[in-house]
Structure formats: C-alpha cells, structure tokens
Structure 1
C-alpha cells in the first residue's frame, strides 16, 4: 500500500509540474494570451490605417478636390488667377 501511495504522489507531482511549467502549460498560456492581445491591438491600428487609405483612394478617384488639395500642400501649386503671398519672418539684427 505504501508503494501505491508513493506512486500516486509522484504521478501527482509530475502532473502538477506539467500543468504549471511544462509545454503548453499555464505559463505558455499566459504568455501567448499577452501576445495575442498585443497582436489584436496592432491589427486594429493597421485596420484603421487601411480604412483611411481606402477613403483617400476613393476620394482621389471620385473628386478633384483632394487632388487639388494634395497639389497645393505637397507641390506648392496655385490656381490660375490666384495670388500667392509668402510671408517671411523678420530678420534679427545682429550687432557686430
């Protein structure tokens, strides 16, 4: 009977070890859960970025306003008949 009890205790200890520390145990589960949560956050950020890009693409395909806005902002172009004013900051006088 003592041998049987000892065998049961050893098997219980091994099962507990595999549960807590072994492959696919609770430690792996918590680590993988954290990785999955971070990946879901990253995917959500990328999903929102893609939605903005698709909205920009649709806007570029449908209207000329966005093309005009990009030409003004990125290339510095102006329409025919418009006046362009460039305001320069005051130069600081240096005493020599």
Structure 2
C-alpha cells in the first residue's frame, strides 16, 4: 500500500525539482537573466558616460569661441594670420 504512494511522491518530487532548476521560471533561467541584466547595466553605464561627455562638449562649443577655434585648428589645420605652419614628415 505504501509503495505506490511512495512512488507517486517520488515522481512528483522529481518533477518539481526539475521544474525548480531547469523550468521556465527556474534557477538556471534566473541566473541567465541576472547575467543579462548585469551586462545591460554595464552597457547603459558606459553609454551614459559617453552621453555626458558629448553633452559637455556641446555645451563647451555653444559657450566658448576658444573651444571652436581649438576644434577648427586640430581638425581642419586652421592657421591664424601671422603664424607659421611646420609639417614634419617621416621618411
């Protein structure tokens, strides 16, 4: 009499254990989601820092002519009147 009850109990216990570990809401799924969340938070932090740097750069360009002049000098090789430009070429 106890043997069928024990086997049913063992089967239900095995099924529930499997669902707890490998099921759709199981521990393995939670670990995978936690890793994805951590990766996304790191990605968001990196992008947030980049956005802050870009905002600061835009604000600097809006407020000061020195920043605009520096940018033109470095990117477009702008030379003021009266300055001498030297280019060093490696052989």
What TM-score comes out, normalization by structure 1 length?
0.84
Runs of 4 or more above 6 Å deviation: none
Matched, 1:67 2:68: yes
Structure 1: where are the runs of 5+ without partners? 92-96
Where does 1:15-94 land on structure 2 (aligned, <5 Å)?
Answer: 15-89=16-90, 91=91
Provide TM-score, normalisation by structure 2. 0.89
Q: Give the aligned length.
A: 90
1:4-26 Cα offsets, whole Å, 9 max, x none, are 22222111111101001111111
Q: Distance in 2 between matches of 1:42 and 1:80?
A: 46
Deviation by residue 1:26-67 (Cα, 9 ceiling, x = unmatched): 111111111111111111110110000000000000001111
